[in-house]
Amino acid sequence: MKTRYVSCLLGGFAALCLTACEDHRLSPNASFPDRIEFIAQRQYPEGIAYSAQLDRFIITSLTQGKIGTVDINGNYADLITPPELIAGVGVKVADGRIFVCNGDQGVSSKSSPATTRRTAELLVFNINSRQLERRTDLDDLLPGVNHFANDLAIQPDGTVYVTDSFAPVIYRVTSSGQASILVNDPRFASATFGLNGIVYHSNGYLIVANTGAGKLYKVDLQNNNAISEVGGLPSLPGDGLTLLNGDLYVVTGSGSRVAQVRSTDNWQTASIVKFDTDGYSQATTNVVVNARVFTLNARIGEISAAMGNPALLQSNNYSIMKFR
């Protein structure tokens, strides 16, 4: 495992040792529209976050390995175009930094035989300087198998947890950049697409989705990382996960709907409160802003259909939907 730092750190990571507050709960804007349409050339934005500092949504790109912004009026702009980022997947904003998963499904302009289905990295950028501060290789921790870093969750002490969709592992990266495998379990495996969305719960555990299995799992960080399936649910092939007021919002149905899921026993079991189905198409994940859930319609189905032929990926129109 290699963690690489660059000279622009300026001691900034010391702050992460104290707290890592995600910068998405509040915004200077009093209200957001129910739907934000935006145009971004061949963006295919798998991940979404929000920066109150920039007053913009932050989105990634599977096809171009860059990070962009979208305002509430639907104006898109490139933010960071780093050479190190092959395909931007899950993204979070915390303490003035952008944390992004770097993977490769073979559809990026930067894809190569050496990186396709072999890449799992965590990149951290300073939101003010737009410079790379840290790059941590995760695929080195489990050699000889396929890898795809998908999503991440940040603990208040700055620890980051990263899912791998092609290997049955969750990685742990400390606030100082030290990486390890938190859990490696056959329940996280899938013949298609395995681990996907992940969230950190303030009671000291993770909730993670296995898309191929259609299940949610709880990883108890305070009990030797014990893994248990969240019971009581029907098959729920989840993509992105977001917590709001104790409920879990799960993008599901191949991106055609978002499920509001609730537990009354600390996520031993759960039930579906409702599905929101209007306006979702090929969605991936969601983010909370101003106590509302916003979901990214990312045309993710086109990625699967174009495997091996990136030239087929030419869409420019995307949208962000408010859960209703």
pLDDT, averaged across the chain: 92
Residue 239 lies in a domain: no
Residue 105 lies in a domain: yes
Residue 246 lies in a domain: no
Residue 225 lies in a domain: no
Residue 215 lies in a domain: no
Is the pTM of the predicted complex or chain greater than 0.85?
yes
The helix/strand/coil state of 163 is strand
Q: Positive or negative CA dihedral for 175, 83, 93, 6?
A: positive
The whole-angstrom separation of Cα 285 and Cα 238 is 9
pLDDT band at 298 (very low <50, low <70, confident <90, very high): very high
Domain residues for the domain of 280 are 37-192+276-322
Q: Return the pLDDT at 17.
A: 37
State mean pLDDT over 180-184. Answer: 98
Rg (CA), the chain: 18
pLDDT digits (tens, 9 = 90+) for 249-288: 999 999 999 999 999 999 999 999 999 999 999 999 999 9
Residue 257 lies in a domain: no
Q: Are 148 and 117 in contact (CB under 8 A)?
A: yes
Q: Return the pLDDT at 306.
A: 87
User: Does residue 6 register a pLDDT over 60?
Assistant: no
Strands 147-154 and 118-119, by their bridges, are parallel
Say which amino acid occupies 219: V
The whole-angstrom separation of Cα 120 and Cα 199 is 18
**Which CATH number covers residue 95?**
2.120.10.30
pLDDT digits (tens, 9 = 90+) for 108-160: 999 999 999 999 999 999 999 999 999 999 999 999 999 999 999 999 999 99
Q: Which residues lie below 8 Å from residue 148, measured CB to CB, with a gap of 6+? A: 89, 103, 104, 105, 117, 119, 120, 164, 165, 166
Strand 247-252: give its sheet, edge to edge: 241-244, 247-252, 257-262, 271-276
Q: Which residues lie below 8 Å from residue 77, measured CB to CB, with a gap of 6+? A: 68, 69
Q: Return the pLDDT at 13.
A: 42
Pick from 10-24, 156-170, 217-231: least confident: 10-24
Residue 2 lies in a domain: no
pLDDT digits (tens, 9 = 90+) for 301-321: 999 888 778 889 999 999 999
Q: Return the pLDDT at 3.
A: 67
User: Does residue 33 register a pLDDT over 70?
Assistant: yes
Q: Return the pLDDT at 246.
A: 97
The whole-angstrom distance between residue 290's C-alpha and the CA centroid of its chain comes to 19
pLDDT band at 26 (very low <50, low <70, confident <90, very high): low
Q: How many domains does the chain have?
A: 1
Q: Are 282 and 297 in contact (CB under 8 A)?
A: yes
Q: Return the pLDDT at 12.
A: 40
Q: Return the pLDDT at 24.
A: 60
User: Does residue 7 register a pLDDT over 80?
Assistant: no
Q: Return the pLDDT at 16.
A: 40
Q: Return the pLDDT at 309.
A: 82
Q: Return the pLDDT at 8.
A: 39
pLDDT band at 23 (very low <50, low <70, confident <90, very high): low
pLDDT band at 15 (very low <50, low <70, confident <90, very high): very low
Q: Return the pLDDT at 10.
A: 37
Q: Which residues lie below 8 Å from residue 257, measured CB to CB, with a gap of 6+? A: 251, 275, 276, 277, 280
Q: What percent of the chain has pLDDT over 70?
A: 91
User: Does residue 166 register a pLDDT over 70?
Assistant: yes
Q: Which residues lie below 8 Å from residue 276, measured CB to CB, with a gap of 6+? A: 257, 258, 260, 323, 324
CA neighbor of 217 nearest in space, from 243, 196, 203: 196
Residue 103 lies in a domain: yes
Q: Return the pLDDT at 307.
A: 77
User: Does residue 14 register a pLDDT over 60?
Assistant: no
